Amino acid sequence: MDSVCPAAVCLLEVCLLMFVTDYTMHLLDNVKKIHFIGCGGSGMYPLIQILSAKGYNISGSDVLDGSIIRSEREMGVKVSLGHAADNVIGVDLVVYSAAIAKDNVELNAAASYGIPTVERSVLLGYVSRLYKDSICVSGTHGKTTTTSMITTALELAGRDPSAVIGGKLPLIGGYGKAGKGDDIVIEACEFSETFLKLTPYMSVVLNIDNDHLDYYGSMGELKFAFKRFALMTHFMIFANADDKNTMDVMYTLDRRVRTFAIDNAADYRAVNVQEYKPGFFEFDLKEWDTKEMGHIRLAVPGRHNIYNALAMCAVCRSVGLTVEQCANAALNFKGAGRRFEVYGECNGAVVVDDYAHHPTEIRATLNTAKELGYNRVIAVHQPFTYSRTKMLFNDFVDVFKIPDITVITPIMGSREPNDPTITSAKLAAQIPNSVLVDSLEAAADWVKQNAREGDLVITLGCGDIYKASKMMVKKD
């Protein structure tokens, strides 16, 4: 097990708390007008909703129109298409996302005008401290679903929460919500240590897996980041007792921790787990302090969603919801955007899209797909980043033995330069029953020519592979 120095952790904790207090406590003092560069992004939208509801004058800019920008305009946000120096004249603060280039004309203009600028994650950290109960959901896998489940439970219970989610939640009409209650539910992403900007009242650690090692360098450093995140929690940490990496971190903490599990002893445990129809599960919720058990039935497929539901139950029971209210949320939660999302049909085959991009996530999604009783499962995968594809190459090869056919598209490099030592062709060459295509259009065309009634086609990846699903179901 990777080890860390407890003294160093304590010192770092103090430094982080000082940073939070000194740097962001007064972030919006004397601020009335806020401009968002890249306001059409899903991560910006909830912040715009929340700050607009709190009375700030919001403007924004982006290069392309879209549904998020249309929603923002309906809220009264002044949105400019295209970036220009004039867009920041007269504003008090400029917010930008990690996707915005450092030489962006609006960032340069803000600097020349003496306007403060702040990265989105820092502003999100500030927003997390505006609420009495900030619930921050972390973990390599399952964050969006669990954040959505908790938001659903609080919303249906009448607590009117605010939310910042990485996927669309139909119940609240998008990626976030500006509620009037004391709760805010935040998806806490570990990439680039973004979640260390947050100050949770309650936090969830679903799991810790070998992702983003291009940034962290080792599992030890990744676990150390989760430890720092947990140390920022003011009241309670909820942790998956079935996940070894998570518990390696929890055992070193001097914090209040409650656990959830299926297999191991835990404060919240799923017992009498049953598959009530192919791929869909129900269980009895057993709590540490009572002999009574509530019954939870999931409306989303996959055994992995039991853990997400357990986390939801643990958090919601701790803020005062009844078991019946938790069960109602589980029964009424039909999924979040790009999480086993059904797009339609192609030649009678059902077409589904899923955000899974790490082998562990892909395995859970494909195992769920295989349990649903379709004649064939056809996976269409867009590898994301050269570093992840290279680092987890053998894991990708192994997991794509699950579907009957795997279609591999070109690697989406995203933030990384091209690496000629790793290609989709090399990956496809090692995967049985694989098909190599040179574009998303070619992937959609292959499915249109080969899918048939009784098949399940599932696009997989965190890039723009969902566009292929849209092409598949589009009527010619």
Residues 6 or more apart whose CB falls under 8 angstroms from that of 157 comprise 316, 321, 325, 329
SS3 content of the chain, % helix, strand, coil (to 5): 40, 25, 35
Q: What is the DSSP string of 28-87?
A: TTT--EEEEETTTSTTHHHHHHHHHHTT-EEEEEESS--HHHHHHHHTT-EEEES--GGG
Output the furthest CA–CA distance in the chain (Å, rounded).
65
From 423, 413, 361, select the one nearest 385 (Cα to Cα).
Answer: 413
Q: Which of 72, 106, 143, 385 is catalytic?
A: 143
Note whether 53 and 45 are within 8 A (CB).
no
b/e burial code for range 16-36 (CB count within 10 A of at least 16 → b): beeebeeebeebbeeeeebbb
> What does the chain come to in residues?
476
Collapsing DSSP to helix, strand or coil, 260 comes out as: strand
b/e burial code for range 96-129 (CB count within 10 A of at least 16 → b): bbeebeeebbbbebbeeeebebbbbbbbbbbbbb
Query: What is the rounded distance in angstroms from the CA atom of residue 268 to the CA atom of residue 232?
Result: 23
Asked whether residue 139 is marked as a ligand-binding residue, the answer is yes
From 118, 239, 124, select the one nearest 189 (Cα to Cα).
Answer: 124
Asked whether residue 143 is marked as a ligand-binding residue, the answer is yes
Note whether 187 and 137 are within 8 A (CB).
yes
Q: Among this protein's residues, is 187 annotated catalytic?
A: yes
Beta pairing partners, 135: 185, 202
Asked whether residue 142 is marked as a ligand-binding residue, the answer is yes
Helix (H) or strand (E) holding 237: strand 236-240
Note whether 312 and 161 are within 8 A (CB).
no
Collapsing DSSP to helix, strand or coil, 404 comes out as: coil
Q: Among this protein's residues, is 180 annotated catalytic?
A: no
Residues 6 or more apart whose CB falls under 8 angstroms from that of 74 comprise none
Asked whether residue 357 is marked as a ligand-binding residue, the answer is no
Query: What is the rounded distance in angstroms from the CA atom of residue 470 to the CA atom of residue 343?
Result: 7
Query: What is the rounded distance in angstroms from the CA atom of residue 97 to the CA atom of residue 124?
Result: 11
Q: Among this protein's residues, is 144 annotated catalytic?
A: yes
Q: Which of 187, 190, 287, 341 is catalytic?
A: 187
Q: Which of 24, 144, 259, 423 is catalytic?
A: 144
Please state the residue numbers annotated as binding site: 139-145
Catalytic residues: 143-144, 187
Please state the residue numbers annotated as binding site for ATP: 139-145
